[in-house]
Structure 1
C-alpha cells in the first residue's frame, strides 16, 4: 500500500483513507467509518496525523477523550449532542453543537469560536473568562433566545433567528463589541430596541433582512462606529442614512427593497436568489409559490393527503432541477436553502422528516 494511504477500522470494517486527510466524518451510521452502535476503536486516529476536523453525532462514545489525545484536532462539529460535555482537556479552537439534547458544556482554554445551532431552551456553557475572547454564533430557528450566563463577556455575537427577536435577550452581555442579527423569516423585527442602550461598547451592528426594523427606535449608542443594513426597506435606509449623516458612524446599506417588491416576495425563502440573477431567482421564487399554494390546499390526515403532498413537494424539486439545468446557479448554499424550504413545507403537512428527505433527494439534479 502506498505511504500516502492507510487502512483504518474504527469498528465498521476496514477503509482506505489518505494518511493526511484533514476532515474526518465519524458520524455514526450504517455505511460510515463508525458503526451506529457498539465499540469504537479510537486508536485508529493515530494513523491519520493530518486530521484537523472531526464530524460527530449522538452520544459521546469516547469521542472527547480521543480528541483530547490528539491536540492537532482543532475543529469539532457535533450534531444531536446529548448530555453534558467537558472539552477542557482538548485543544479545540472551533466547536459546534447542534440539537436540543445538549446538557452543560465546558470549553477549553484554546477555544476561539462556538456555534450553537438550535440549542436547548436554557443552554449552560462554561468558557474561559466568561467567553471574553470567544466568537459566539447562536442560530435558533425560532425567536426564543437565551445566551448562556457563562458567556456574558463575549465580545462578538452572530445571532440567527426566525422572524423576530427581542434586544432584551442580550441585555446581560456586558462586553459586546460586534453584533450581527440575521432574520431567516419575515417580518425581520428587532423588538425592545431601547435595550440596546446597555451595550455602550458596541462598535459594529449589522442587521440582515430586518425588513421590520423601526429605524427611529434605535437608541443612541455612544460606541457605535459602523451600522450595516443588508436587506431592508428603502424608506428605512433613507431614515438611517439621514440620522447618521455627519456623525462618526459609517452606514452601509445593501439590498434595500421597495414596497411593491416586498409585497410580492417577502414570504418567499428564495427572494435573495433574485440578486444573483433575475431570471433564475424569479423562476425559483415562482416554483416555491406554486408549491406553497399546492401545500396550502391540502388538509393533513385526510384520505389522499400524503399522495397529494408527495406530488406537490416533488413538483418543487422537479421545477428547481429544471431551473438549475438552465442557469446552473444552485450551489451548496442554495441547495441547503432549498432543502430548508422543502422541509418547512413538508412539516406543514406533518410529513416525517425522513420521508421528506427521501422525496427531496429522489430525482434531484442540483
Structure 2
C-alpha cells in the first residue's frame, strides 16, 4: 500500500448547487453552470468554496459574471481564466491572471491586469461542434491592456474577413488570427510592435489582400501562413526584420517561388503541404486534402470518400456512407488518430449542414457504426 499521506485528498465543497466532492489538489476547475452541476444555473454562487482548492490554476466560466472576477482576484494562484458567453464590462485588473480566453457577442470591454501575458478573443473552432464557426466577439469590443498590449501574445478566432484589432492591444508582439477565406493585410498594419504573425485560413481560397501593407510591420521576425493557397509571392513586401517564413498548406508553384526569392538571404523558409494546381483544382474545397501529406494512398482515398458522399442520392446515404468509408480507411491504414477524428467530425458536420440535416440526427448517424 502506498504512503497514505501522499494520496489525493478529497474535499466536499458547496458552490450553491449542493455539496460536491472534489480533489483538493485539483488544478483545473470547470464552473460553467450545467456542465457538472456544481454551480447553480442562476442566483448567488458560494465562491468561498475555492478556499479549499489551494493548487487551483485554471477556471472555466460562462455567462454573466456573478462574482467570478472578485473570486479570481481573491485567489491569486489562479492564473488562467476561460470565459465563454461573457457580457458587459469586465475589469480583471485586480487579478493575477496571466492568460485570459474570452468570448461573447454581448461583451463590451475587458480591462487586463499588469501581469497579463496571453489574450485570446473568440471561440476556438473545436467549440462549435456541428455548427459553422463564426465570430463570437464584437468588432466594437474595447480592450484596456497595460502599455497597449506591449509584449502580449494575442489570439483572434474570427472565421470571417472583417477582422478588427482592438485599439487597446495594438502593441502586441505576437498575433495568431484565424479567419475565413480572406483577410486584408491593412487590418494588421496597425500592430506597430508585432514580431510574430500567424494567419490560419479556415477555408479556401486563403487570400491576403493589400499585401503591401505588411511592409509597415518593420519589427516582424516570423511569419507563418496556414492554408494560404491564394498567396501571391510577388506581392509580398520586403520585411526588413524577417527571419522565418513558414507555409503550411500551399501551392507547389508558390513554394518554389518563395524558396527562390529568399535563397541566399537571412530568411529561413519552411514549407509543408505543398500541392499541385491539378490536385487543388480537384480537391481545394475537400476537407481531407491535407491527409495526403502523411500517406498518399490514405489521403487520396479520404478525398474520394468525401466526393462520393457529396454526390450521393440522399442525405442519409451520403452521411452514413462517409462514415462507412472512413471505417474502411481506418481498418486499412490505422491512421485516424484523435486529431484526424476531430477533422473527420468537422468534415461530416459541414456536409450535414450542406444537406440540411438536423444536428441531432447527424450526430446519431455518425455514432451508429463508427469504428475510428
* Fold-level similarity (TM above 0.5): yes
Q: Deviations over 1:107-146 (max 9, x none)?
A: 1111111111232233221111101121011111112110
**Pair 1:310–1:60, CA change in 2 (3 A):** farther
State which drifts further: 183-192 or 21-30. 21-30
**Pair 1:37–1:276, CA change in 2 (3 A):** farther
- The reply on whether 1:191 has 2:209 as its aligned counterpart is yes
**CA shift at 1:356, angstroms?**
4.9
2:249 corresponds, among 219, 231, 238, to: 231
- Tell me, which stretches of 5 or more residues in structure 2 are unaligned? 123-134
**TM-score, with structure 1 as normaliser:** 0.88
Partner of 1:138: 156
1:32 corresponds, among 30, 34, 37, to: 37
Counterparts in 2 of 1:75-224, with a 5 A limit?
Answer: 75-117=80-122, 118=135, 119-224=137-242
SS at match of 2:278: helix
Given that 2:310 and 2:351 are in contact with CA atoms closer than 8 Å, whether structure 1 keeps it comes out as yes
How many residues are aligned here?
354
Given that 1:187 and 1:210 are in contact with CA atoms closer than 8 Å, whether structure 2 keeps it comes out as yes
Q: Deviations over 1:138-173 (max 9, x none)?
A: 111112110101111111111111111110111211
**CA shift at 1:327, angstroms?**
4.5
SS at match of 2:213: helix
Q: Post-superposition, which runs of at least 4 consecutive aligned residues in structure 1 deviate over 6 A?
A: none
**TM-score, with structure 2 as normaliser:** 0.86
- Tell me, which stretches of 5 or more residues in structure 1 are unaligned? 298-307
Given that 1:157 and 1:178 are in contact with CA atoms closer than 8 Å, whether structure 2 keeps it comes out as yes
Partner of 1:59: 64
**Pair 1:177–1:317, CA change in 2 (3 A):** same
For the residues of structure 1 that align with 2:329 and 2:288, how far apart are their CA atoms?
13
Q: Deviations over 1:23-67 (max 9, x none)?
A: 111121164322333332211111111211111122222211111
Q: Deviations over 1:179-208 (max 9, x none)?
A: 111112111111110111111111111111
Partner of 2:52: 47
**CA shift at 1:352, angstroms?**
5.4
For the residues of structure 1 that align with 2:68 and 2:93, how far apart are their CA atoms?
13
Given that 1:30 and 1:36 are in contact with CA atoms closer than 8 Å, whether structure 2 keeps it comes out as no
SS at match of 1:122: coil
